[in-house]
Amino acid sequence: MNIEDEVNNLRPQMEKDKEYLWNHPEKGLCEYKTSTYIKQRLEEMGYTDINTDIYKTGIVAMLKGKEDGPCILFRSDMDAVIMDETGRTKHTCGHDAHMTILLSLAQILMNNKEKIKGTVKLLFQPDEEGDAGASKMVENGALENPKVDKAFAIHVWSELKEGTIGIKEGTVMASSDPYDIYVYGKGGHAAMPEKCVDPIYIANKIGIALKEMARIDVNIDEKAIIGVTAISGGKTNNVIPDQVFMKGICRTNNNETRKEMKKKIVDTVEEVANKMGGSAEVKFLAQYPVTVNSSEEAKIVQELAKNIVDNVITDYQTTTSEDFSYYLEKVPGCMIFVGCGGDIYYPQHNENFTVGEKPILIGTQLFYEITKKYLM
């Protein structure tokens, strides 16, 4: 692991930032303490161009060099994971580490502001876990004034061991299209099913039909994960209900496949229900496009990463999703995975998931290398 002194010297402050953010997790669009802390830290460093009116708790800080050059955006998400039905939150996805990395980069940039040729945007984004906060940041102009030329983000990743960087050209994360299904029938006495239209039976048939739609044994770019993840309906033993409520999700690795599967979900649900004498409707919720890294930027970052760690993986992708995809739909750039897996494996969103110091050092160094490549 090759970490420069300029990064290593920030370790005491990294520890303080990480500790504060870990101990103050907040759900999406409620990151009030988090946003206040980040703004204060940026002001302490000397940043004056800090936009806190971009979207809810989001922040965009800018640092302009004395010479012209590209505008490079670095993004961190801010929200914590909602762990259970009580609303308890915890940073079990690594966003505390992401913010620590971006704050560390902010300090390095300020220390080297005389060398910068162009503009840096440091974007702290709310609500990645919930309602695709990235889409709102884009809608509210995060990529404009000045126009962003390239965008980069890091995700610490438990599937990869510490000391590993994953950076791939093309698709790296799947789309995510969660949906609600409302199944309508005709309720009545369970002893007289012939006089009813049983929405529970219809819902079971829908669940099977959706599972059979999934594409598994195909090229990974055509893969589709489809299914039902929750179902509720009825309250007692001897009454057939009028309605059943279902939840499910569709994930794909290709935006054309995504479009096709979403249409098929709606068509299949409606067809199954209608054939059985009932009806149904599908409502898609927060939708995340496929995350696609641009080839040129991915190749450049692969080479930069090799200067930091020995293990650079160039073919890793996952069927999890990320709203950084909204930025990459507009500008070239990369989502980069920095391994944080330890001797005992705890997946993202697991109660025991944590991020140590090493991935934060590696992530900060990699962001610094990207800055030097494009702006110094």
User: Which DSSP helix (H) or strand (E) runs through 283?
Assistant: strand 279-284
Q: What is the pLDDT of residues 314-373, one digit of tens each?
A: 999 999 999 999 999 999 999 999 999 999 999 999 999 999 999 999 999 999 999 999
Q: Is the pLDDT of residue 215 over 90?
A: no
pLDDT of residue 221: 83
Q: Is the pLDDT of residue 218 over 90?
A: no
User: In terms of pLDDT, which residue wins out, 91 or 255?
Assistant: 91
- Tokens encoding 66: 């004395």
User: Which DSSP helix (H) or strand (E) runs through 120?
Assistant: strand 117-125
Q: Is the pLDDT of residue 296 over 90?
A: yes
Asked if 241 and 166 sit in the same domain, the reply is no
pLDDT of residue 219: 85
Sign of the Cα torsion 189, 190, 193, 197 reads: positive
Pairing mode of beta strands 150-161, 177-184: unpaired
What pLDDT band is residue 149 in, cutting at 50, 70 and 90? very high
pLDDT of residue 333: 98
Question: Domain boundary at 250, 265, 284, which?
Answer: 284
Total count of residues recorded for the chain: 376
What does residue 227 show for φ and ψ, rounded to 5 degrees? 175, 180
For residue 149, how many other CB atoms are within 10 A of its CB?
Answer: 17
Asked if 27 and 156 sit in the same domain, the reply is yes
What pLDDT band is residue 206 in, cutting at 50, 70 and 90? very high
Q: What is the pLDDT of residues 257-283, one digit of tens each?
A: 999 999 999 999 999 999 999 999 999
Asked if 208 and 323 sit in the same domain, the reply is no
Asked if 191 and 111 sit in the same domain, the reply is no
| Averaged pLDDT for residues 207-230 | 91
- Tokens encoding 375: 């702006």
Asked if 86 and 184 sit in the same domain, the reply is no
Asked if 22 and 158 sit in the same domain, the reply is yes
| Averaged pLDDT for residues 204-215 | 94
- Tokens encoding 174: 């799947």
Q: What angle do CA 374, 330, 28 make, to 5 degrees?
A: 100
Asked if 98 and 141 sit in the same domain, the reply is yes
| Averaged pLDDT for residues 199-228 | 92
Q: Please give the mean pLDDT across all residues of the chain.
A: 97
pLDDT of residue 103: 98
Q: What's the structural domain count of the chain?
A: 2
Q: Is the pLDDT of residue 32 over 90?
A: yes
Q: Is the pLDDT of residue 220 over 90?
A: no
Residue whose entry in the numeric block shows the structure tokens 């939840």? 247
- The model carries a pTM of 0.94
Asked if 241 and 280 sit in the same domain, the reply is yes
Q: What is the pLDDT of residues 97-123, one digit of tens each?
A: 999 999 999 999 999 999 999 999 999
According to DSSP, the residues that pair with 215 across neighbouring strands are: 224
What DSSP assignment string belongs to 308-337? Answer: T-SEEESS--BS---TTHHHHTTS-EEEEE
We report the CATH number of the domain holding residue 303 as 3.40.630.10
Asked if 195 and 164 sit in the same domain, the reply is no
Question: Domain boundary at 254, 284, 314, which?
Answer: 284
Pairing mode of beta strands 177-184, 279-284: antiparallel
Question: Domain boundary at 259, 284, 309, which?
Answer: 284
We report the CATH number of the domain holding residue 274 as 3.30.70.360
3-class DSSP assignment, residue 1: coil
The parent domain of residue 65 ranges over: 5-174+289-375
User: Which DSSP helix (H) or strand (E) runs through 291?
Assistant: strand 291-293
Q: In whole angstroms, what is the distance from residue 135 CA to residue 127 CA?
A: 10
According to DSSP, the residues that pair with 281 across neighbouring strands are: 182
Asked if 277 and 296 sit in the same domain, the reply is no
Q: Is the pLDDT of residue 47 over 90?
A: yes
Asked if 127 and 71 sit in the same domain, the reply is yes
Asked if 323 and 229 sit in the same domain, the reply is no
Q: Is the pLDDT of residue 222 over 90?
A: no
Q: What is the pLDDT of residues 173-189, one digit of tens each?
A: 999 999 999 999 999 99
Q: Is the pLDDT of residue 217 over 90?
A: no
